[in-house]
Structure 1
Amino acid sequence: MQPNMQNQVEEPSTKRAKTDGESKMAANTLPDDFKPPPDHYYQGIRMLAITPASTFDAIREMEVREDDIWVVTYPKAGTTWGQEVTSVIVERADLEKVKSKSLLARVPYLELGPLGQQGATYKMVEQMPSPRLIRTHLPYHLMPKQWFEKKPKTLYVARNPKDTAVSGWHFTKINHFFVTYDTFSDFFPKYLEGDVIYGSWFDHNLGFWEHRHDPNVLFVKFEDMKKDLKGQMIRIADFYGYPLPVDKIDAAVEHCTFDKMKKNPMANYSSAHFINHKKGTFHRKGEVGDWKNHFTVGQNEVFDAVYEDKMRGTGLVFDFEL
């Protein structure tokens, strides 16, 4: 998950000179000894303190528009990829326009805030002109009530659970607002139990998979995007009702490759305060199969047993390597 903390750790601009402390904040980092507020549980699901229960309650009652476009993911399953692809598609592959504004300004993270002097993002979303592009990690049953009624187009990006686990663990090490786990072995049992931010990977993915045939839901796999980004972007564009201009498709696809996004300051969070840039970058590998560098034989056997039990009969299958 990647909350945009840029406006949340700086004070509103004034005419006075900045103090040393404020200048340090302006250097796009939080203090090394920064301690995140404790996590909390909302309806039994572990959540970050930067999204209090009152925000989840309000989102449930928020206005949803029929022409909204929603990007939904489990954390670290291709969220940024889904956002950038969606933005490029809706802007008809006008890459100069896309590059002129940060990703979270184009596709805001719905659940963020309120925190400090920053208001809740959902209130800002309510003021956005249509068509609104909205990103969320909400599980199916916690989506806004009007989402079920208005049925806006919704992209769900899913990633195999082993690579998602590894990416999630690495993210806890660089995100100032996450509980840190020193080793993957420390993180693994929590992930397997679903006692991580946004809960169980199984519950989250299967919640949307069960509605994959709904006309307003498109279920896309991270691995399929890796194999054929062009084909998946065309598929997504047609689903949204914003077909890509034929003469711009190749440039749009190139713009949305992992390597390009990793170097794109409008999409790579290189100036985000919530990232400890001394410990790593937001975009790490973006690979399929990196889990094999982290799972022990024993962990893999345990996970496979749980996976087989929970996924049996669902019809949902993933590539664990390419």
Structure 2
Amino acid sequence: MIIQVIGEIPDLLFTQKMDSIRPELFDFHGVSMSHYFTNNWENVQNFQARPDDIVIATYPKAGTTWVSYILDLLYFGQTAPERQTSIPIYERVPFLETARVASKKGKDLADKLPTSPRLIKTHFPIQFVPKSFWEQNCRIIYVARNAKDNVVSYYHFDRMNQAQPEPGDWNSFFHRFMEGKMVFGSWYDHVNGWWKKKQTYSNLHYMFFEDLLEDTGREIDKLCSFLGLSPSVEEKEIVAGKVQFDNIKKNSMVNYSTLSVMDYNISPFMRKGKVGDWRNHFTVAQNEEFDEDYKKKMKDHTLQFRTEI
């Protein structure tokens, strides 16, 4: 594995395995980031979108892979079924800004996608999205997850993903999340920024993790309506069955178990996929502190989340 490391010599390539080196957080244009997502900044910002590109945008650990898999099945499950068993999801739906592995930058993978439409994922806050997506009026699907479950999932993700900053203990991570000191910045800024964009950009479909879990079929219907797709009832039922959490968790082409940077001895990438798991992590005092902080930061009352279903 060849990994690009930014340091004293930006272009230095090491041939040895570097998965154990965790990046540091730093402020990047007002957003906490790691160099794995800023290394290729100029090229990513100059990405040339196509009118039929479809973007899946989320804050980390909000259902990105889930929705990516749904879209891949809706578009290519019938016409190119071999993709499902031979190409991992992170190559079928490239992560635009990732530049951890020099030979597989997300932008390059997106450029080379043979599919039409191209499915592309990003964790960028709204202000970082390359301008060509707006210029080409691309369809964008934003997935949001309630903050309490999101922080729990992000914590376990950072524990097992060696390409993420050291998470520390739960309590320190919990407070960093409230402060927005996470890769891709503040959850509050992220979900609110995209929600505000929805009011002026008609090709943005804003959906919620909790709704998708509550009624997967209903949310697939909404996606199809937004995308102008009309699969048969049977085709939609097949997709809904394949994307159930237990099925995804066992699917090696979707569950990220083929990436060495993910340490499954610590936690699986697909952990629980539930709403309300925060209750197993938050103390009473943490919950009170979080609720008080939430009220101050979530000023747009039109954006509502459910922490239970």
Give me the TM-score of the superposition, normalised by structure 2.
Answer: 0.89
1:65 aligns to 2:28 (yes or no):
no
**1:266-285 mapped onto 2 (5 Å cutoff):** 266-285=253-272
CA drift at 1:247: 2.2
Taking the aligned partners of 1:269 and 1:119, their CA distance within structure 2 comes to 15
Q: Tell me which amino acid in the other structure corresponds to 2:186.
A: S
Structure 2 counterpart of 1:160: 146
CA drift at 1:189: 1.0
Runs of 4+ in structure 1 off by over 6 angstroms are none
Structure 2 counterpart of 1:192: 178
CA drift at 1:42: 1.7
Please say which of residues 57-66 and 133-142 is displaced more in the overlay: 57-66
1:227 aligns to 2:175 (yes or no):
no
Give the secondary-structure state (helix, strand or coil) at the position aligned to 2:217.
helix
Structure 2 counterpart of 1:110: 96
Q: Deviations over 1:162-203 (max 9, x none)?
A: 000000011111001122234210101110000111000010
Taking the aligned partners of 1:135 and 1:287, their CA distance within structure 2 comes to 22
Taking the aligned partners of 1:95 and 1:285, their CA distance within structure 2 comes to 29
- Indicate conservation of the 8 Å contact 1:114/1:121, yes or no: no
Please say which of residues 302-311 and 80-89 is displaced more in the overlay: 302-311
> Unpaired segments of 5 or more residues in structure 1?
1-6, 10-20
1:139 aligns to 2:119 (yes or no):
no
Taking the aligned partners of 1:250 and 1:95, their CA distance within structure 2 comes to 18
Q: Tell me which amino acid in the other structure corresponds to 1:60.
A: Q
Please say which of residues 236-245 and 150-159 is displaced more in the overlay: 236-245
**1:178-257 mapped onto 2 (5 Å cutoff):** 178-213=164-199, 214-257=201-244
Give the secondary-structure state (helix, strand or coil) at the position aligned to 1:96.
coil
> Relative to 1, partners in 2 of residues 1:37 and 1:200: Cα closer, same or farther, differing over 3 Å?
closer
- Indicate conservation of the 8 Å contact 1:91/1:97, yes or no: no
Please provide the CA RMSD for this pair: 2.1
> Relative to 1, partners in 2 of residues 1:61 and 1:262: Cα closer, same or farther, differing over 3 Å?
same
Taking the aligned partners of 1:146 and 1:45, their CA distance within structure 2 comes to 21
Q: Tell me which amino acid in the other structure corresponds to 1:240.
A: L
Q: Deviations over 1:28-60 (max 9, x none)?
A: xx77xx22233333212122222235x223222
Give the secondary-structure state (helix, strand or coil) at the position aligned to 1:35.
coil
Give the secondary-structure state (helix, strand or coil) at the position aligned to 1:118.
helix
Structure 2 counterpart of 1:51: 37
Please say which of residues 124-133 and 100-109 is displaced more in the overlay: 124-133
Give me the TM-score of the superposition, normalised by structure 1.
Answer: 0.86
Q: Deviations over 1:267-307 (max 9, x none)?
A: 01112111012212111001100001111111111111121
Q: Tell me which amino acid in the other structure corresponds to 2:270.
A: H
- Which of 288, 293, 297 is the equivalent residue of 1:310? 297
Taking the aligned partners of 2:98 and 2:259, their CA distance within structure 1 comes to 14
Taking the aligned partners of 2:286 and 2:234, their CA distance within structure 1 comes to 48
Structure number with greater CO (CA < 8 Å, separation at least 6) is 1
Q: Tell me which amino acid in the other structure corresponds to 1:120.
A: K
- Which of 88, 91, 110 is the equivalent residue of 2:76? 91
Taking the aligned partners of 2:240 and 2:247, their CA distance within structure 1 comes to 10
Q: Tell me which amino acid in the other structure corresponds to 1:141.
A: Q
Q: Tell me which amino acid in the other structure corresponds to 2:293.
A: V
- Indicate conservation of the 8 Å contact 2:148/2:307, yes or no: yes
Give the secondary-structure state (helix, strand or coil) at the position aligned to 1:211.
helix
Taking the aligned partners of 1:290 and 1:132, their CA distance within structure 2 comes to 34
Q: Deviations over 1:181-235 (max 9, x none)?
A: 3421010111000011100001000111112243210000000001110010111
% same residue = 33
- Indicate conservation of the 8 Å contact 2:54/2:120, yes or no: yes
Please say which of residues 162-171 and 117-126 is displaced more in the overlay: 117-126
Number of residue-to-residue matches in the alignment = 296
